[in-house]
Amino acid sequence: MQIGHFPWDINTQKNITQEHKRYIKQIEKELTDYLDDNSLKDRKKEQLCKYCTYIDNHRIAMSAFFDTWCAKCNTPMQFVNSDVNMLCKYCAVENNSCCKCGAEMD
């Protein structure tokens, strides 16, 4: 088996370095947002945990109608992209859980 590379030159080095810096900035921002928790009211209304709100909030989702069901009570649910919830709102609230990932609300 072979693993190939794109040709490397000094611009490649610059681009990769830039990309890393950009990524570190992004992580820094996510972590700051997580710690500040400024969307507390909104995310509680949506029944979303801190992690789903600030860290894991840019999942690449396929746009289409997706049918799923609540992982606790099997209630059918439909979403407009592939980023579907795990729990229905009722079960999430009832069990103090995030409706997206099922973790404890914080």
Is residue 91 close enough to count as binding Zn ion by CB under 5 A? yes
Q: How far is the CB of 85 from Zn ion (least distance, A)?
A: 9
Give the x/- contact pattern for Zn ion in 45-74, rule: CB under 5 A. Answer: ----x--x-----------------x-xx-
Distance CA 35, CA 53 (A): 11
Query: CB of residue 106 vs Zn ion: minimum separation in angstroms?
Result: 9
Strand partners, 79: 66
The amino acid at 61: A
Dihedral of CA atoms 42, 47, 53, 55 in degrees, nearest 10, equals: 160
Give the residues lining the site for Zn ion (CB under 5 A).
49, 52, 70, 72-73, 75, 88, 91, 98, 100-101, 103
